[in-house]
Structure 1
Amino acid sequence: MFNLYISILFFINYASGLTTDGLSLLSIKSAVDGGDTVFSDWNDNDSTPCHWSGVTCANISGVSDPRVVGIALAGRNLRGYIPSELGNLVYLRRLNLHDNSFHGSIPDQIFNATSLHSIFLYGNNLSGALPASICNPPRLQNVDFSHNSLSGTAQKFLGNCRQLQRLILAGNEFSGEIPSGIFPELANLIQLDLSSNSLNGSFPYDIGQLKSLSGTLNISFNHFTGKLPASLGDLPLTVSFDLRHNNFTGEIPQTGSFANQGPTAFLNNPSLCGFPLQKTCRDNSSTIPPGTQSFSPAVDENETKKGLKPGLIILISVADAFGVALIGLVIVYLYWRRKDSNGCSCTCKGRFGGNQKSKFCSFPCVSGFPNTDSEAESEKGDAVSGGASGGGGEGGGGGLVAIDKGFSFELDELLKASAYVLGKSGLGIVYKVVLGNGIPVAVRRLGEGGEQRYKEFVAEVQAIGRVKHPNVVKLRAYYWALDEKLLISDFISNGNLASALRGQTSTILSLSTRLKIAKGTARGLTYLHECSPRKFVHGDIKPSNILLDNDHQPHISDFGLNRLINITGNNPSSSGGFMGGALPYLIQTEKVNNYQAPEARVSSNRPTQKWDVYSFGVVLLEMLTGRSPEFSSPTTSTSIEIPDLVKWVRKGFEEETPLSDMVDPMLLQEVHAKKEVLSVFHLALACTERDPDIRPRMKTVSESLEKIRT
């Protein structure tokens, strides 16, 4: 039968001239029930499959014709088997068949596609064991086989997938023990989800060697036994544990990452004890950290016989009142969460098995996004791969549009990805989202208004998207629908300048590092003022809007957002520096923004570039003195007050205050840099002149900073 099939393919190729990639793709059409109808545009008379629905091609160096690099057929209710001929697509990078009804086993031959880096088969009816060839593709990064009926045991060959970043096997029927020796080989693993299986035995001690892990380590709803491996504490401090519904025993260790976990992480392990659980270990009271108490007051037998003492009665009453208040808070929280989501719901594959109608999906449920019933359309029309796609437009259907041609992902990938809230302000809620290719992005929800201003919104976003400078956060894509607007930008991983200056990160800012940040910020502002398409005015320069990467290079964020917020109908306020940035951020209810120029506080004045120069000068003063200008109440006087930090520095120079009394104590040890510090002080004071006409242009400020060396 197989030889007959090959003969037919060769005959088709001879008759039509279809490429070998096209012939391999026709095997899907044959393997799916009703394939002629479902794939009506997959015509064997075509010379190339590159215009077929769900197929992506690319030009490969050294190869004359475009080759198939992506297959996206998710959510189409396809019923059939996965053909092994897909392994002949040697340049295939992404295979996306999730949320269909494919059955049978995953063929070994698929992994002959040695360019494969992402394979998404979740939400089907696949059975059998993991293919032994799964690690054949040397660059395989993302594997999601969750919510199928796969079985068997975890095999040691998984350790051969050394580039693997995500391994998601939740909601299957895997059983047995996990052998040791796998995790030390997976040095790049970011996400591990083995929840809702039947895995048992003790959890491997070498789990602590997953140094790249982030997000949540999820092994809940299994049958693991024994003590918790102490090496879990060696995982990065940002990792959350989900160890619920297992049979772990003994005392919870109190080292490393364990100290950052709440009680929810350990629930439904009846034999676990120790902090943060309320169950203390019998013969070791040290499980409760100093300063905390057990929630169960001890009562001796005599007290029981005599009745409850008044103090105990009061304690019980207070506990009852606390319980009632807690229930009330939960009800209010659920009410506002329901209200905030405008009643939207999405069908999610249950993390713990089965389907659940829930608002707690991997990515926040938004009514403008297609649910599982419309994912097929999103795969066809909303894949972001270089140009505008799925325009959405004034019809309100919703569309994901790439601004950067080198940026490529699919809408369902965005929805599936784990999202972490970075913060919320008047400029929207911002999430960190890690895409299937391992690239983190920042996604800002702008709001739900602006139905009649689509063209204005798009024009503004496109103008922002044309800004390309290494010291400005890059906007990559946007999503428009009548009830949802999203901005997708680069994620900057090392927090912001405000956090670093105030000691909220491990970053130590030497004078040379501060100068590096100042110079980069000045270059970015100069570009916005002089070289950007619209000669932008940022209007909200402050340390929380200056994001830092791991090399302490600054990235200016949030420019142009006030305009977009006005279009979508929200009331703009302090952004807190969320666009593209990492935690921690300070959310403040601002009254008077002391980073703003005096004239910027008069509502009738139009923004000018000299506003940014003033704000940058205040930032320079904060970097030199270590003092924050803070946010203060508005003055009742009709005159405009100069912020305290600026007045304090000016007064210090007028009274010839010793420099050591004005400079940040962290910089005092760098006495050799007195001349450089004075130069920056004088430049900052020039930037913060009351009269905007006296302030220098940002280009002049940048050139002056470049001349200062440490």
Structure 2
Amino acid sequence: MTNLVGVLYAVILLVLCAGYVDVARGQTTDPTEVNALKAIKASLVDPSNKLKNWGSGDPCTSNWTGIFCDKIPSDSYLHVTEIQLFKMNLSGTLAPEIGLLPQLKTLDFMWNNLTGNIPKEVGNITTLKLITLNGNLLSGSLPDEIGYLMNLNRLQIDENNISGPIPKSFANLTSIKHLHMNNNSLSGQIPSELSSLPALLHLLVDNNNLSGPLPPELADTRSLEILQADNNNFSGSSIPAEYSNIRTLLKLSLRNCSLQGAVPDLSVVPKFGYLDLSWNQLKGSIPTNRLASNITTIDLSHNFLQGTVPSNFSGLPNIQYLSVNGNLLNGSVPPTIWSNITFTGNRALVLDFQNNSLDTIPPVFEPPQNVTVLLYGNPVCTASNAARAANLCQPTSVTDAPSGEGKQVSTTCFPCPTNFEYNPSSPIPCFCAAPLGVGFRLKSPGISDFRPYKEAFENDLTSLLELRVYQLYIERYIWEAGPRLNTHLKLFPNNTNLFDMAEVVRLREVLAGWQITLLDVFGPYELLNFTLGFYADEFRTAASPGLKGGALAGILVGTIVAAIAVSVFSTVFIMKRRRKQRTISRRSLLSRFSVKVDGVKCFTFDEMAVATRDFDISAQVGQGGYGKVYRGNLADGTTVAIKRAHEDSLQGSKEFCTEIELLSRLHHRNLVSLVGYCDEEDEQMLVYEFMPNGTLRDHLSAKTERPLSFGQRVHIALGAAKGLLYLHTEANPPIFHRDVKASNILLDSKFVAKVADFGLSRLAPVPDIEGTLPAHISTVVKGTPGYLDPEYFLTHKLTERSDVYSLGVVFLELLTGMKPIQHGKNIVREVNIAYQSGDVSGIIDSRMSSYPPECVKRFLSLAIRCCRDDTEERPYMADIVRELETIRSMLPEGEDVLSSTSGSGLLAKSMSSSSTTTTGALYVSSHISGSGQADSGIPSGMVAPR
């Protein structure tokens, strides 16, 4: 019986193979890789309708021709949504049959050895969102048909041998954000039609054979941040002056492009950060208007520029590299370029003035130790100045910014077992763990020196990966031609020896699926490798049914009709068996975690599919570590939010059941209500009331069109505090949330705040046998970097005032608009520094309307108390609610009432020009010890933030 089931199962797997005829033909060039090629088992479709990346055995035996099975008809290709065959050493070609996959969203063959053309039939797959073919040996021209892909978000064909023009049809890619076509042999002009792309962020076309004038129409783009076109031949053309109108521009790199004319004045571009116009034929003087304070790099070397070095290069706080080497500049060496820069840690500045006609050095010329000034090849280095400029006049070749290696582990540690390593970043010394290796390259960074940005990179990447900062170890980083920054990373488990396999799968999916967005200064990234190490065998086993080649050998005997007939029978048999197993599994799961779901509706998968139009992308409203969130409409017309766990979800079944259990018995105006759940068809979904105004974090973002007023912010803070007070004191038993953050505070149609996401929550301690109530829970540290209570992090002791700390960080976000961790800066530390200096007006969110200073001072004082390092110095949640109610009562008339008439839910009445204060007992003192200032630097009267 077992063998029969195996045979029947194999038949249905073979039927699933069909439709993938020769999508990639050929074998690997290395015979030792043949088994690896077979191991892909891409013909098998997993429950998420993704093609398997790993496996064992050969499901197609003698009919194997490449990546896909051959000569077995079926329509199962209709359901495939993802092909991800990243760095598998595959060769062969992409065949036209790729167009037979009508629901494909991801086509990923990065870093293989594929040859031939990109088939025009790719244009038939209108559902495609990602095409990543970079790092192959593809040739031929780009098919016009790619322009049919209206849903395409990312096209990466860089580092191939593709030639011909950039198709004008690409102007139809209305969803495209990333066009990475660098390092090919593209020719012709950059189409002016690309200016109509509404979402385009990055246009990388460097290292091609492009020619003709640069299109001035690119100035009409709405969102272009990076234009990188180095090493092309725009001979005789100039840089369009219109480029100064690209208000979103962060980086312009046109090195070695045979450009003529003048240097454009980019001083009006508000966030401009990187300019490289070196090795061209530019003439005239350097514009004298000051560039944006974000600028890190200015390279105007090897042109024909005249005049003096302008004073506008001084006072740029983030400048790392300035080069005017090899021009015709004269006059004095500028003495104050470094005057507005704080040189701490590895902060450095290179000023390359070599090979000009500078003939004067100021009487007082004392560059700081971290500033390198290069003057070789100027008259100032002649004998009369030799004594003063001797150390500045040595011939020097400026190389790329320093590469580096991470810190080393103490030699006193004992050796770790094979595939285990010490994490030098771990707070636990000499702790062996099995890491994941990641090759991660920044393709167009907006910096020249990584060292000052290393901490910001660590904070940003770990936050996006939902890891602790110490789980990331930068083993080394190397600057490559481009310039591009190649980093070798190690990801370590959190204070345990091993990652859970679900976490390994999640991290790989997030990195390979382009699910993270780094800070703008780091530009686009690419994944070079994902090394499993210790986890390799388990990963392949987990991703493969493990069918044996011998069991499949007899399957091909018989006719196609017989195979289909048997497959139908086997499908029914297997589905019944699987359905029974799922029922047992669900019953076991729910009983294991003692889920009490009285009064909460259990939905079927079909009901959820209908509510979301089969989980259509247009219904998706969010995404997190747990999965995707959809807006759905139930049969009774109720609008709901459906949180659908992705396969191998990070949070897993325990957190799923925890949230059902907690929310089914929590009822409060300031907590998100659970409508129901779905637990079938290998799916886990939670159904909540829908919050039409999204998350608090959305409304604090710099991109929000209608910022919150101060009155709204107090109202939201009070609602969140009341929700947490209910959890701490009125829930039975009390609950500690453990992950309070701005993105877990949702806003309904009237901007009423509701606390959400109880997947990490823990029940408060209960009295022991003698009636003694423990003061804390000992638990593994979980939460979000930037919001995490430092005492909880160090001691693993969770208390209700751990939530107080996190809420205090939210309060600081409300006041400043800043993120908890941004550009390497911690919001608690930055606010405390400003507060103690007596001048906080500069950190108050400038997007607020005018505000009453006494209210702001009290709100700030409360937030700072909540964020004290010492738990005992923080207020209880009841104290916070009382103080916020006092602050609300002090607001001018109408300022504490939210309007429901406006579509946005904003205040209907604008704030008046004078302050009205309600007297009464104040719970929190306006004086914080250590500030040294009575008024905290906030002016009296109604003020508007600067």
Is TM (by shorter chain) over 0.5?
A: yes
Secondary structure of 2:193 counterpart: coil
Question: Which of 124, 148, 151 pairs up with 2:160?
Answer: 148
1:25 — aligned with what? 20
The SS at the match of 2:163 is strand
Structure 1: where are the runs of 5+ without partners?
A: 1-12, 56-62, 300-310, 353-357, 372-389, 423-430, 444-454, 474-488, 500-504, 626-665, 691-710
Among 229, 234, 240, the residue aligned to 1:224:
234
- State the distance in 1 between where 2:696 and 2:111 align: 29
CA RMSD of aligned residues (A): 6.5
Residue identity opposite 2:96 in structure 1: S
Deviation at 1:415, TM superposition (A): 7.0
Q: 1: distance between equivalents of 2:48 and 2:863?
A: 57
Alpha-carbon distance between aligned partners in 1 of 2:861 and 2:14, rounded to the nearest angstrom: 65
**Alignment match, 1:318:** 366
Residue 398 of structure 1 and its aligned partner are, at CA, apart by: 7.0
CA distance, structure 1, for counterparts of residue 101 and residue 919 of structure 2: 64
Shift of 1:36: 6.7
> Identity, % of aligned pairs?
16
Paired letter, 1:190? L
Which residue in 1 is equivalent to 2:110? 98
After TM superposition, list the pairs within 5 Å mapping 1:34-183 onto structure 2.
38-40=37-39, 42=41, 50=49, 53-54=52-53, 67-183=79-195
Give 2:331's match in structure 1, choosing from 294, 297, 308: 297
| C-alpha spacing 1:462/1:238, structure 2 compared with 1 (3 Å) | farther
Q: Give the alignment's TM-score, normalised by structure 1.
A: 0.57
2:719 to 515, 520, 523: 523
Q: Secondary structure at the match of 2:260?
A: strand
Q: Is the CA contact (8 Å cut-off) linking 1:199 and 1:223 kept in structure 2? A: yes
Does the aligned pair in 1 maintain the 2:718–2:885 contact within 8 Å? no
Where do 1:106-505 residues align within 5 Å?
106-184=118-196, 186-214=197-225, 216-225=226-235, 226-237=237-248, 239-254=250-265, 257-258=268-269, 260-261=271-272, 264-271=275-282, 273-275=285-287, 296-297=330-331, 315=363, 317-318=365-366, 323-324=371-372, 338-339=406-407, 347=439, 351=443, 394-397=496-499, 401=503, 410-413=509-512, 419-420=518-519, 492=697, 495=700
Asked if the contact 2:255–2:280 (Cα under 8 Å) also holds between the matched residues in 1, the reply is yes
SS at match of 2:81: strand
Q: CA deviation at 1:133?
A: 0.9
Work out which of the residue numbers 862, 882, 889 in structure 2 matches 1:595.
862
Q: Deviations over 1:27-46 (max 9, x none)?
A: 34754436675234739799
Q: Secondary structure at the match of 2:179?
A: strand
C-alpha deviation, 1:91, in angstroms: 0.9
Kept in 2, the 8 Å contact 1:471–1:553? The answer is yes
Residues 196, 618 of structure 1: alpha-carbon distance in 2 compared, 3 angstrom cutoff: farther
> What is the letter of the counterpart of residue 794 of structure 2?
N
Note the C-alpha offset of 1:470: 13
Task: Look up the equivalent residue of 1:513 and give its one-letter code.
Answer: S
Q: AA paired with 1:595? A: L
Instruction: Letter of the 1:72 partner, please give it.
Output: Q
Q: Aligned AA for 2:366?
A: V
For the structure 1 residues 266 and 461, does the alpha-carbon distance in structure 2 shift closer, same or farther, using more than 3 Å as the test? farther
One-letter amino acid of the structure 2 residue matched with residue 221 of structure 1: N
Q: 1:418 to 1:46 in 2, by over 3 A?
A: closer
Shift of 1:565: 3.8
1:610 aligned partner: 878
Quote how far apart the aligned CAs of 1:179 are. 2.9
Aligned counterparts of 1:439 and 1:599: Cα–Cα separation in 2: 32
Residue deviations 1:199-241 (CA, integer Å, cap 9, x gap): 2222101101210234x33223323342211222222346332
Distance 1:17 1:471, change over 3 A: same
Return the alpha-carbon distance in structure 2 between the equivalents of residues 670 and 98 of structure 1.
59
Q: Which residue of 1 aligns with 2:794?
A: 566
Contact conserved, 1:228 with 1:252, CA < 8 A, in 2?
Answer: yes
In structure 2, the CA distance between the partners of 1:434 and 1:147, relative to structure 1 (3 Å rule), is closer
Cα distance between partner residues in 2 of 1:470 and 1:154: 56
Question: Partner amino acid for 1:191?
Answer: H
Q: What CA distance in whole angstroms lies between the structure 2 residues aligned with 1:43 and 1:104?
A: 21
Q: What amino acid is aligned across from residue 412 of structure 1 in structure 2?
A: L
Q: Is the 8 A contact 1:227 1:249 kept in 2?
A: yes
Q: Is the 8 A contact 1:614 1:689 kept in 2?
A: no
The residue aligned with 2:597 is: none
Residue type at the aligned position of 2:498:
G
Letter in 2 for 1:410: E
Change (3 A) 1:148 1:531: farther
The one-letter code matched in structure 2 to 1:246 is C
Q: TM-score when scaled to structure 2?
A: 0.44
1:452 is aligned to none
| Residue 45 to residue 290, structure 1, CA distance change in 2 (3 Å) | closer
Measured against aligned partners, the alpha-carbon deviations of 1:395-446 in whole angstroms (never above 9, x if no partner) come to: 434767499xxx9992333679652179xxxxxxxx9999999999999xxx
- Work out whether residues 274 and 281 of structure 1, in 8 Å CA contact, stay in contact via their aligned partners in 2: no
2:706, 2:217 → 1: CA distance?
Answer: 32
Query: Residues of 2 paired with 1:234 and 1:256: CA distance?
Result: 10
Shift of 1:492: 4.1
Offset at residue 106 of structure 1 (A):
0.8
CA contact (8 A) 1:251 1:287 kept: no
Contact preservation (8 Å) 2:25, 2:94:
no
Name the count of aligned residue pairs. Answer: 540
**Equivalent residue number for residue 703 of structure 1:** none
User: Structure 2: how far apart are the matches of 1:232 and 1:464?
Assistant: 51
Distance 1:112 1:165, change over 3 A: same
Aligned counterparts, 1:671-686, within 5 A: none
What SS does the aligned partner of 1:246 have?
Answer: coil
Partner residue, 2:487: none
Question: For residues 440 and 363 of structure 1, what CA distance do their matches in structure 2 show?
Answer: 24
Cα 1:670/1:434, change in 2 over 3 Å: farther
Separation of aligned partners in 2, 1:64 and 1:345 = 35
Structure 1 stretch displaced more, 44-53 or 119-128: 44-53
Partner of 1:306: none
CA contact (8 A) 2:128 2:149 kept: yes
| Structure 1 position 514 matched with structure 2 position 703 | no
